Every structure is written in structure tokens, then in C-alpha cells.
Structure 1
Amino acid sequence: MKSIRFTIKLLSFSIIFFFSHVTHSADMDKRLNVVTTVAPITNIVRNIGAGYIDVTGIVPDGTDSHTFEPVPSDARILEAADIIIVNGLDLELPTVKLAEKVKRAKTPIVRLGDRTLRNEDWRYDFSFPREHGHPNPHLWPNIALAMRYAEITRDSLATLDPRNKEGYIANTAAYLARLQKLDDAIFDCVKSIPEKNRKLVTYHDSFAYFAPRYGMKVVAAIQPSSFSEPRPQEMIRVIKQVHKEKVPAIFGSEVFPSKAAEQIARETGARFIDQLSDDELPAPPHDSFIGMMVNNMAVMTEALGGNPDCVANVDTRNHTLIP
């Protein structure tokens, strides 16, 4: 009888050990479920968490992030998230409002922009006037600020998932090195542009944080704060500015075609180029935030009289994305 009881106890311990080992292995293999918003942020997060997280970006490519309204299926995605990473600075207000309503109590919402800049460093402009209370949220074209986004993402993921902390640190180090090369290349691009041409007229105020870092001047943005086409008096104001500043090119986006921007170009004799992007990634294999900025700089530099080869050696692939 003793031997039978011993055998039963041994079998019980073996079963308990087996299931605890299986549970532990499952926990170790479980990836964080991360939900993001706009494509550049989604891509930055994917590079930092490569191999350790699953990422869902709920704002589709080519969608105006300012006017995006989440749908019921997005509520289910947000509800299941382990962490929600957004730009903040009031860019995704409907999405954040929904997230706060449906997310689990312990799921953090990380607002990258709010943690990157102090309030006194927020910028207000034509598309984002101070009287409306919403600052310009487009921090990421300034690569120094994008690097801060990467660091905040690293720290947020490591806090939630400490067992993979070293992986997040390694991924971030590699990604920051590539961002630094991009940053250096952008400085080279601007240096190649004649000083009198280092001026930007864009359809949307997407380069408010980019311009002062790299030595450029935002002369005007065509899209007003309502995110509609400008009124005639606003177009007259922009036309006068473009004439006064002798701006050689006006930049739009093929995602958001603007008849007003084309008309202003015709009125002033400036070239109209609809190939800039602040939130849509290019096609594979360059479908990355870095790839988007490389495209922007090649287009911008050539149109303003500089040498677009300045970004020829920037690696645009998502190197840290591993199986």
C-alpha cells in the first residue's frame, strides 16, 4: 500500500510539474498585444518591439489622422490591448476617448508627444492656431524627436514586459543608430539646397518641428484649422507670401489632393509637387518611417535645387523585424 501511495504522489507531482512547465513556457512565449494609431508610430513601435510584440495600427494608411473616427471593430482591438501607444498632443482624440472607455483597467495609454515636449515647446500655426487649444502634433519628422519616441517606447515596453527588457534595449540601440544616420543625411540635404530656397510651403502644417531643426523656414501652410480647402482670402494671403519669399515649390500630398494648392502654384509660378507624406509609408521594401522620410527628403531637396543623392545611402529597411 505504501508503494502504491508513493507512486500516486510521484505521479501527482509529475503532472503538476508538467502543467506548470507548460504554463510557464506559454507565458514566456506570449507576446505583448500592442495597439497604435498612425503608420509612422506603428512602424517605430514595431522596430523597437521586434520579436517580442504583436502590433495593430488602427488608423489606415492614407487616412487623415485628424479626422479619423474609430469604428466598432476598433473598440474590440483596443479592449484586447496590453498597451496602447499613441502620438498624443490631441492628434487622436476620438480614438483615445474610445480607448479610455473600453480598455482594461491596467492597460496603459502612452502619449509619446506629451512625454517628449514640454508645454512651452508646443507649436501653434495656421493649421493649429493657439486659440483652438490644440498644438501641432507632427513631432516625428524632426528625427531628434522621433528618437525620443523610440526611447519612450522602449522604456514603456520594458516596464510592462521586463523579461524581454534586454531585447527591447538591443532593438532600440540598433534603431537609434539608423535614425541617427537619417538625421545626419537630412542635415546634408538641407546644406545642399541654396540658402535662399530653404523655404517650405506645404498643404498641411506637418513640418513645424522639422524646419527649425534643419535650418528651413515654413513660409505657409495652405490647409486651415478646419482641415478643409482654404477660403479665397486665405489663398490670397498665401499667394502674397509665396511671391514675397520667391518660393520655388509648393508641396502637397497625393493622399490629400488639393486644388487650392495647385491653383496657388499656377498663380505664383512655383512648381507643385504632390509627393510629400507625413503619415503614409511607401511601398515595400521601403515601407518604414525611415523610408517615408527618405522619400520626403529626396523630393524636397530636388525641388528646392539641392542634391537628392544626400539620402542615397540611408538604409530604409526594417532590419530589426525578426520572426
Structure 2
Amino acid sequence: MTRPDRRRPLLRLASALLTAGLLTGGPAHAGPAEDYIAAHAKALADVAAAAKAGKSDGELDALGAPLLKDLEKRMVALIGPIAFKGTQKKPIFMPSSLNAEYLESKEPDGLLFSGTNLTTRYFVSPEPVFTDWLAARAKEEDADPALRLGLKGAMGTEPFYFAVLGADAAFIKYMDLPVTAGEGESVTAALGLFTQSGQQNDPPSSIVFTRIGDGRVVVGTADLKATIKPLPACEKIWKEANAKATRLEDAAGKTRNDEDPRWKEAEQVREAGGDAFRACFVKAALSLPFFPGAVKRAEELVQAARGK
């Protein structure tokens, strides 16, 4: 899986150190997971120090490569043998960079198993390591409040799935899907879609799921694999909102004024129209033909996440 180059400078080095967990307190009782966390923090600090010393991105990548290899070796040992049907045998280790100028340095620590079409994905992480990553993300100034709810509070939210699986697309959740948790585990599943255009009148196309159990966190997504026919009542809501937003944009465009308040108003109208479309869809979903199959597929995905 080739990841796009998404370099963006971070505002402060401290943010990167928080992301790595470097500024958090050390564990009272060290174990393999805590050793990994400490090794990652040190690796990030080494690269950050080299960046501060003026090393180029190429030099930072060269410095980080063996450190990432070491972290990958530790992660594979922590997770142990695991595989998911329909995905590649050798997973991708995350994070894929230690350079704080790359967004990839903020990726969660774990192994990503992907299908050939990349729409089926299982991300696996030891629970202590994942919890440490989430806590570090929650401390960032621009962190979404949902990420500050702790693992079990955040696990079913849009920001959570975007942070773990989003890459270049935000996740929009339409509705939760009822899945049954086994003894000693927490599970959640939802219906939604990954998009770069924001909420419009797109029907949901993905199932996302999370399982916490057996010392692991598994977060994944797969195609819905169902055809959802347009709902006239919901389409009408969206079309009216979109038309109003377009009229506002046209009027604002004629002024050649980027500060015209109608630009912002158009954005708000379109966003509200998308939210209304989604609410309309969710209200109808329980009685639509696709819904029982979506619940069954979610249950199958959660079962696969159990690794049994």
C-alpha cells in the first residue's frame, strides 16, 4: 500500500513530543508494551533532535528507517501471529514516519492488514500501546473533544475512525449497527462513508468496527456491499439546500469579495442540508431492504476481528 506524501509542518516540536507520549509519565511497572512505548518515544526524540540540528528531510528519513524497523520488530512480537481473510499476509507497520513534519508521524502504532482493493482494512494494536497513542492525541490543542473521552468513549465516533483509518478522507457516520459483544470485550460497528467532499447526499458505503479484547484493539472497515436506492424524500431535502447554497455562492461571486458573508452562509446551508439528508436516511434505514444484510456483515467483521 503506497501512502501519499502529505508533508505539513507542525506548529511546535512539543506537539510532536506529546504525540509520541514523550511528555507523559513513565509506567510504574515496565513490560513489553511499555518497552515499546519508551522505544518509540526515544526514536521520535532522536529524530526531533536531528531536525532541530538542521538535518534535511532525507537525512531524517535515513535516521528514522532503522528506528522504524526496530519498532516494527517489537510490534510484531507484541501482537503475535494473526491474519485476516482477504488481506495481505505481510501487514504494513504504522506509524510510517518519525519525522514530525509528516502527518504520518501521528499515525497510531500497530499493524495494518489491507485487502487488494484497500477498502477492507484491519488495524491491530496492543491495547496499552493504542491507549497511550490516543491519550497523546487527546492532549493536542486541536484535538477533537471525542478523542478526549478515553478509548471506550471515543471508539464509536467519527473523529476516532478518521484518526485511525481516515488517511486523506474524513469519516461520516450515519448510524450505529447493533453488534453483540462477547464476554470481556467491547465492540461497536457503524454505517457511514469516507469522503473528501463532506456530507452531501451520498448514501453510506462502508461499515466500520472496533473490538477491544484479549489485550488488543482492532479497528477496521469494509465495503457495505449493498445497493441502496435513492430515497426521494431525502433527495428533495438535499437538492433544495444545495440549490440555495449555489444561489448564495453565485451572488457572492459577483461581488468579487472573498469576505462576502454569503460564502460562509452557503457553506453552512450546504452542511445543514447534508445533515438533514443523513437524518432522513437514518429514519428510513431500519425498514430498507439492505439493513438486515448490513447488520449481518457487521457481525461477520467483528467475528473476524476476534481472530477465531
Q: Which has the higher strand share?
A: 2
Q: Per the shorter chain, which TM-score range?
A: under 0.3
TM-score by length of 1: 0.24
Larger-gyration structure (1/2): 1
Q: TM-score, structure 2 length as denominator?
A: 0.25
